[in-house]
A and B are shown apart, each in its own frame.
Chain A
Amino acid sequence: MAKPRRPRRATLAEPRGEEGIRSLFSKFRQILEMNNRSMEVMADMERALGGEYIFDRNFLEQSVHKLAGLVHQAVYSLNAMAHNRHAGLLDRFEEIKAIHADILDGGLGHQANLLAVAFHDIGWEMEPLVGFELACLAEVHRQTGLTAPDGFVVTVTGVNRLAGELDPSMAPPFQEEGETGAQRARPADRLEERPVKPELLQAVEAEISALFRRNGRESALTVRAVPVGAGLGEAAEWTASAVIENVQGEDIISACREALSDLYGRIRRNDPGATPQAAVAVTLTQVAELQGMVTTLDPARTAEGLVLVEARPAGSEPIDCRERYWLRRVEPYELVESIICPKAPGHPSRAWSDRTGLRPGSSLAPLGLLRSVAETALVMDRIVGRPLEAVWTWGEKGTLAVLGFRPLAAAFADTPPVEELDREISSARILLRGGETAQSGVAAGRVIPVSEDDNPATFPLGAVALAPQASPAFSPFLRRAAAFVSETGNATGHLATVARECRVPAIVGAAGALAALPARTEVTVDADERIIYSGVVESLLRYRAAGLDLTPADPEYLLLRRLLRWIIPLNLIDPHSPDFTPAGCKTFHDLLHFVHEKAVEELIEIQTRHKEIRSLKARPLALNAPLDLWVLDIDGGLASAAGRRIQVQDVSSRPLRALLRGLGLEEMWDNQPVALRLRDIIGGLDRTQALLTSEPAFSGRNLAIITRDYLNLSLRLGYHFSVIDAYLVESNRNAIYFRFAGGFADASRRERRAELIRMVLETLNFRVTVKSDLVVGKLKEAEPRSAETALVRLGELTAFTRQLDIAMRADQDIEALLELFLERVRAQARGKDG
């Protein structure tokens, strides 16, 4: 029998000569095209999170499919450019594509094998592993820094390893009121005989150790089980196990089993046939002084739109009472009414008086705490997208923590008060209309104007942030704001993305906002309709509170979030990092970025990697400068009438034209012979020798490869080498790469010249790295005008620095020469103006 042949990766036909170079450029253009189109698809998907668009599952499937096609083409084109040097990228592409397919099929994706995970690593996309409630608590904590007890979650996978597919019939009946732990039947004991899978034990122990390290010491733990799976958006099906407190680290597995048995019992009481999935939350036990419930919209008083906070003493407090307080839903959360218990004489109650005119009283909870509870719960309400009730505790160190929550029944969802809404809206005063919706929703609060210099930590939680522009610098304010409005900006910028991440209603590009919205007055922002009303339009807030938006409780929202997790984040940022490899690509965005960087590298190194270029018919360029420059036109870089010897006016390549404007300035060239000392000559001998024996590409002619909008220039001027690679079109995606190395003088002088170049490049907004005498500068996503200016300046710099290393004998020469260079640039500009 013939031995089966190992399938081979298809090798790409490699056109040679000028055709080969053209093909290279064509592939590069294809990559740019795929990149741009992918960014559009990604932006559409990301924007769908904001609630402005009506979409369905089909949109998600089609988008993922389309994106996969584009990314695949980009990966393929790179390999065609690089002779399959990045073949591993195709494998990584297939792996990420398989994760998308698994998510669309309802699988747990790449994280399916995760047994335990710290709270701070949880996001919405892990909802199938940890459940809606825990994902939400972790997300609130991550986004806003609001207090939730630190801990970790034993995931669905971990729970399944712990107990197998626990048969609900093994679970005990629902715990009756007043029944103690000791009286409870404990069928979990039966499970305890099952050996714990070593990998699970290891994962849980690792999380406990990490938790204690973060806490600074070992501590008692609290354990509770929560259900995971479909239907959790409905409050009726919302349940959780009893809370098991003061568990020691070594008893954690047994406590998990007890919590799971309890949870399954509760679920079985409602649905005897249920086969639930569950996760277990393990947190540091809170030492509480006060505890209670908070309801973000009191169902008994919906017309008034009030938050209800209930408080009672925790643990060993000497009195037994439950107090109730109602606060407004709008910052600063004024207290409207309270019912407090009579206190025994001598009780250490907290006396407070309120400026609202309410009588001074003696309540369990100080007003500041009540406001904190209300604002914390309302932030959760915004993130979840519907009213909820949450359990809170207040510790002896004055720390507030939310232990758990559940959404309120969607009782109001079918009966929004539309007539009342119409009446109130028609009589409300409109302060501003217009702009773009970045995140839909409605919120009310005081207007607080913000500037980039303000400290976000002092921004009042729950206020409306008013900014001059939608700058990324305002992102931290979104973590505290109820709504965001900016005078300029658009819904595709970074700030809009953060608004969607935080689910903060946001209108950007609302012209006239700064003048129309008086500071510190209350307004209602309706981001859907792009209208800002004066005052608090209560019926509008209540109407939106009915959970009618796209929210994390919608499967499509969570599906989109899970998909985006493997599409949008850019993890590979530094091309010099050891992780900048195909294996380091975790998302489609990473793959595209990797492809783009490597494709640019292929072009930058075109003259060293494609030796056949030297045999191509380049033409000399007549320059008014001491420089021999040859030009190879690939596509539309020269006028068709250009002769054997090209004149500057024949050049139609936009980047080369810009460079020549700087390179051709006579005053930038210092043509005087440089005074060399014996030390300079001896110091330069090794570099002369190196030059003679170097790679032919470096000792070849100065060659510019051009197209209408592209330039790749390799220059050898004296003893230094530089490469300029530039792409210049009428968009904001222009890029310039500049590399400079070498020189005749000793190392310290060459390094001074490198420092001078760095300083000049930084004035042009290049990102610069310097290693010894090697300078690499990158300018990305530049506007056409600034990219053009940068190329003119690079031409001037190339001329100016030709022999400067020898002249740079002391560190102070750097500043002096920088000033001289800038003065010549200024003189040139003055001359042009005059």
Chain B
Amino acid sequence: MSATTNNTPSAKRQVLILDDEPIVCKRLKPAFQRAGYEVETFTEGQAALARVEEKKFDLIVTDLKMEGLDGLQFLGRVKEVNPKTDFIVITGFATLETAKESFRKGAYDFLAKPFKLSDLMDIVRRLERERLGGGTS
């Protein structure tokens, strides 16, 4: 199975993590849970997309380079379904071009792997402050 999901309705903020490396999902999940998120993780783009079509997520953390549907395609498709979903892109193939392209498609921020977990959570907190304060990225 490529995903772990939970269908229980909840008032918590919803995050979807998409990375074809299970270790990344495994390590990010508890960090987001501890930050008060309801977390679903996926290792395949298509499965994640299917889930996005049936459930609204506040935040998506996605890898870029994956087999099948890659991160940028995924980002574009999700923005069509729900333009308000925020994206943080994480990638081991960080270049200026991929960063620019991510921002152009509407990503909130971009992190090159390997990254410190605390750096990612700092971005998440900044995003939350902006959204709660009505600011924009």
Interface residues of A (CB under 8 A from B): 44, 48, 52-59, 62, 414, 416, 418, 421-422, 528-529, 543, 546, 548-550, 554-556
Q: Is B23 interfacial (CB-CB < 8 Å)?
A: yes
Provide the bound-state CA to CA distance between A546 and B27, in Å. Answer: 12
- Asked if B92 and A414 sit within 8 Å, CB to CB, the answer is no
Q: Tell me the smallest distance from the CB of B64 to a CB of chain A, in Å.
A: 11
- CB-CB under 8 A from A543, the residues of chain B are 30, 34
Contact of A54 among B4, B34, B36, B114 (CB under 8 A): B114
Contacts of A55 in B (CB 8 A): 23, 113-114
CA A603 – CA B128 in complex, angstroms?
Answer: 58
Q: Does B116 contact A (CB under 8 A)?
A: yes
Are the C-beta atoms of A56 and B21 separated by less than 8 Å?
Answer: yes
- B4: A residues at CB distance < 8 A: 414
B23 touches A554 (CB 8 A): yes
User: Which one, A54, A57, A58, contacts B120 given CB within 8 A?
Assistant: A54
Task: Mark B residues whose CB is within 8 Å of A.
Answer: 4, 19, 21, 23-24, 26-30, 33-34, 36, 90, 92-93, 113-118, 120
> CA A421 – CA B34 in complex, angstroms?
8
Give 16 pairs: A residue, B residue, CB < 8 Å, sorted on A. Answer: A52-B116, A52-B118, A54-B24, A54-B115, A54-B116, A55-B23, A55-B113, A56-B19, A56-B24, A56-B92, A56-B114, A57-B21, A421-B34, A529-B118, A548-B29, A556-B23
Tell me the complex Cα distance, A56–B20, Å: 10
CA distance A56 to B92 in the complex (A): 8
Name the A residues within 8 Å of B19 (CB-CB). 56
Q: In the assembled complex, how far is the CB of residue A515 from the closest CB belonging to chain B, in whole angstroms?
A: 25
Q: Which chain A positions have C-beta within 8 A of B30?
A: 416, 543, 546, 548
Contact (Cβ within 8 A) B116 A56: no
Q: Please report the C-alpha to C-alpha distance between residue A555 and residue B26 in the assembled complex, in whole angstroms.
A: 12
Report if A59-B92 is in contact (Cβ < 8 Å); known contacts: A54-B27, A416-B33, A550-B27: yes
CA distance A190 to B115 in the complex (A): 55
B117–A62 touching, CB < 8 Å? no
Minimum Cβ distance to chain B for residue A58 (Å): 4
Q: In the bound complex, do residue B113 and residue A418 qualify as a contact, i.e. CB atoms below 8 Å apart?
A: no
Beyond known contacts A53-B117, A58-B21: 20 more, CB 8 A cutoff: A53-B114, A53-B116, A54-B24, A54-B90, A54-B115, A55-B113, A55-B114, A56-B19, A56-B21, A56-B23, A57-B21, A58-B92, A58-B113, A59-B92, A62-B92, A421-B34, A528-B117, A550-B23, A550-B27, A555-B23
By Cβ-Cβ distance, the 3 closest A-B pairs, closest first, are A55-B114, A56-B21, A58-B92
Contact with B117, one of A52, A57, A416, A418 (Cβ below 8 angstroms): A52
A610 to B36, CA, bound (A): 69
**Beyond A56-B24, A58-B21, is A418–B33 a contact (Cβ under 8 Å)?**
yes
A549 to B28 alpha-carbon distance, docked (Å): 10
Q: Are the CB atoms of A59 and B23 closer together than 8 Å?
A: no
Taking the closest CB of chain B, its distance from the CB of A379, in whole angstroms, is: 23
**Closest residue of B by beta carbon distance from A63:** B114
CA–CA, A548 to B19, complex, Å?
A: 17
What is the CA–CA distance of A717 and B34 in the complex, to the nearest angstrom?
72
> Which A residues are CB-close (under 8 A) to B23?
55-57, 550, 554-556
Docked Cα-Cα span, A52 to B119, in Å, equals: 10
Q: For A414, what are the chain B residues with a Cβ–Cβ distance below 8 Å?
A: 4
- B92–A418 CB distance below 8 A: no
When A54-B114, A556-B23 are in contact, do A418 and B36 touch as well, CB less than 8 Å?
yes
A53 near B92: Cβ-Cβ < 8 Å: no
B120 surroundings in chain A (CB, below 8 A): 54
The distance from the CB of A732 to the nearest CB of chain B, in whole angstroms, is: 25
Q: Is the CB of A59 within 8 A of B116?
A: no
A122 CB, nearest partner CB in chain B, Å: 24
Complex CA gap A485/B74 in Å reads: 43
Residues of A within 8 A of B33 (CB): 416, 418
A416 to B36, CA, bound (A): 12
Are A554 and B26 closer than 8 Å at their CB atoms? yes
Distance in angstroms from A537 CB to nearest chain B CB is 13
Q: Tell me which residues across on chain A come within 8 A of B115, comparing CB atoms.
A: 53-54
A62 to B23, CA, bound (A): 17
C-alpha gap A393/B23 in the complex (Å): 36
In the docked arrangement, what's the CA distance between A327 and B10, Å? 37
Complex CA gap A56/B113 in Å reads 8
Q: Which residue of B lies closest to A557 (CB)?
A: B23
- Do the beta carbons of A44 and B114 come within 8 Å of each other? yes
* Cα–Cα distance between A555 and B21 once the two chains are bound (Å): 11
Q: Evaluate contact between A548 and B26: CB separation under 8 angstroms.
A: yes
Do B34 and A418 touch across chains, with their CB atoms under 8 A apart?
yes
Q: How far is B91's CA from A400's CA once the two chains are assembled, in angstroms? A: 48
**Contact A54–B117 (Cβ < 8 Å):** yes
